[in-house]
Structure 1
Amino acid sequence: MLPSTNSRPIITHDNPKSPISEAYRSLRTNIQFSAIDEEIRTIMVTSAGPGEGKSTTITNLAVAYAQSDMHVVLIDADLRKPTMHHTFNLSNRIGLTNALSSRGMVSDVIRETKIPNLSVITSGPIPPNPSEMLASKRMGVLLEELKEQYDMILIDTPPALAVTDAQIVASKSDGVILVIDSGKVKREIAMKAKANLDYVKARILGVVLNNMNRKSSESYYYYYYGNKE
C-alpha cells in the first residue's frame, strides 16, 4: 500500500502560536498537573461517537508533548477506521496489527515523522478480530516495551459506544481523555460513554469539549477539566 497523498494539517506544528495550539498546550499542562501522585505515561483518547475530533485531538496533543522535548509515540489502535497514516502521509502496509499477530520486533513498525521527537505506529492491515488483538497479552507486552523507549505513549481508539475496543485499551492505559462534540452529542450519550469507561475502572483524566459555540474565526475550541474526587 502506497503512502497517502492527502496528509492532514496539524495545527500545533503548522501554526504553533495560534490560540488553538495554545489550548492543546494547556491540555498537556493540565494532564501533567493531574499526575502529582501517579506517573501518567500511557494516555488513550476516545469519543462517544464518530466524527467528534478524537483523532485530531490526540495528534495535536502528541505534537504538544513532543514540542516539550519529550520522546512521544502515537499509536493508531483504531483497527476499524484508522486515520494516522493519512495524517502523517505514511504507508499503512505494516503497523500495530503486524506487531500483535507475530513475534516480530516492535521496532519494525515504529515510523519516524517530520516532527522532532514524535514517532507513529500506524494501525497496519485491518484485521477480522480487532477486539481480540487489543485484548491480547502481546498488546500489554508491546506497551511495556515502548515505555522503555518513550516518555509518552498516546493511543487513538474507536469511539467508546461503537465497540468494546476503547474499554479494552483503557484498561491498559494510565489515563483516558474523552472527546465530546458539544454541538452534536447529547448529555445522556456522553454520560453513557463515560459509564462504559468507568465499568473497566478507567482513570478518566478529563473531557475535551470540541466545537464550542465561539466566535466564527475559531473553528474549534478545547476545554479541559479534571476529575473531582
Structure 2
Amino acid sequence: MSRASQRANQEQRKLISHFEPKSPITEQYRAIRTNLDYASIEEKLQTILVTSAGPGDGKSTTVANLAVVLAQQEKRVLLVDADLRKPTVHYTFRQFNHRGLTNVLTQQSSFADAVATTQVPHLDVLTSGPIPPNPSELLGSHAMSRFIEEVTSLYEYVLFDTPPMLAVADAQILANVCDGSILVVRSGGTDRQGAIKVKELLAQGKAKLLGAVLNEKAVKNSSYYYYYGESK
C-alpha cells in the first residue's frame, strides 16, 4: 500500500460519527451539535469556523465529525477545507483535490463543478484545491465574501476547517466573516497561554467564540476517549 493510501485510510477512520454512530464518542459530537442548536435560537449560526491554537489538537477531526452529525439531522451541510496550507478534508472523505476552494475563488471553476458529495447523506465537501502562494489574501478577498453569500443560499450549515490560529493569520481573517468560531484544545497538549491568545485574537477582530471542544480527555472507568463540547 502506498503512503498516500495509508494516509487516506488513517484519515477516514477518524469519521467515527459515521462509521460508529452508537459509540460514546459520537454521542459527544451530538452534544456539541445540541449546544449549537441552543445557541442558534437567539441568533443566526449558519457559517461556523473550527480552529485550534496549534497543530495536532484535532480540529480537522472535530469539524469533520461535527459536519456528519449535523447532516444526520437531515440538514444540508457543506464542509469547506479552508486550510490552504496543509489540507486534509480530501483524505478524510476520499476525494480528489484537483479542484476546490482555491479554484472557485480565482474563478477557474464554478462552485457547482468543484463541490463533491460524500458517503454521508446531506453532506457535501469542498476540498482546498491546489495550494496557493497567497492563502491569507484569498481568504480575505471579496471573492471569499461572494463565495460565502453563494453557499449560504444553498446550505443550512457551512463549516470551515482552518489552519491553527497561532501559526498563520488565515483563521483570524475568516473568523471575522463567520457567524461563530469553535476552538479545539487537546487535553494535556494545548498550551494554556496559547488558548488564551486565540481567544484574545478572536476578540480583537470582533469574531464570536461559540465555545471550546476539549479533545482526547480520558474518562475514568471507561475504555473510550470522549470529546467534550463546552459552551463559554
**Given the two structures, how large is their TM-score scaled by the length of structure 1?**
0.94
- Structure 1 residue 154 and structure 2 residue 159: aligned? yes
Distance across 2 between alignment mates of 1:31 and 1:90:
28
Map Cα deviations across residues 56-113 of structure 1 (whole Å, 9 max, x no partner): 0000000000000100000000000000010011110110000011164211111011
* Residues 34 and 226 in structure 1, CA contact (< 8 A), matched pair in contact too: no
Which of 174, 181, 189 is the equivalent residue of 2:186? 181
Distance across 1 between alignment mates of 2:172 and 2:125:
22
Q: What residue identity is the alignment partner of 1:163? A: V
Structure 1 residues 96-107: aligned runs within 5 Å: 96-102=101-107, 104-107=109-112
Q: How big is the shift at 1:170? A: 0.3
Question: Hey, what does 2:216 align to over in structure 1?
Answer: 211
Question: Hey, what does 1:200 align to over in structure 2?
Answer: 205
> Structure 2 stretches of 5 or more lacking a match?
none
Moved more, 196-205 or 54-63: 196-205
Structure 1 residues 43-192: aligned runs within 5 Å: 43-102=48-107, 104-192=109-197
- Number of equivalenced pairs: 223
- Structure 1 residue 31 and structure 2 residue 39: aligned? no
Q: How big is the shift at 1:114? A: 0.9
Q: How big is the shift at 1:161? A: 0.3
Map Cα deviations across residues 99-132 of structure 1 (whole Å, 9 max, x no partner): 0111642111110111100000000000000000
* Residues 170 and 176 in structure 1, CA contact (< 8 A), matched pair in contact too: yes
Percent pairwise identity: 52
Q: What residue identity is the alignment partner of 2:231? A: G
1:222 alignment partner, SS class: strand
* Residues 29 and 229 in structure 2, CA contact (< 8 A), matched pair in contact too: no
Structure 1 residues 9-24: aligned runs within 5 Å: 9=13, 10-24=15-29
Distance across 1 between alignment mates of 2:87 and 2:231:
28
Q: What residue identity is the alignment partner of 2:184? A: V
Q: What residue identity is the alignment partner of 1:182? A: S
Distance across 2 between alignment mates of 1:112 and 1:162:
31
Question: Hey, what does 2:227 align to over in structure 1?
Answer: 222
1:221 alignment partner, SS class: strand
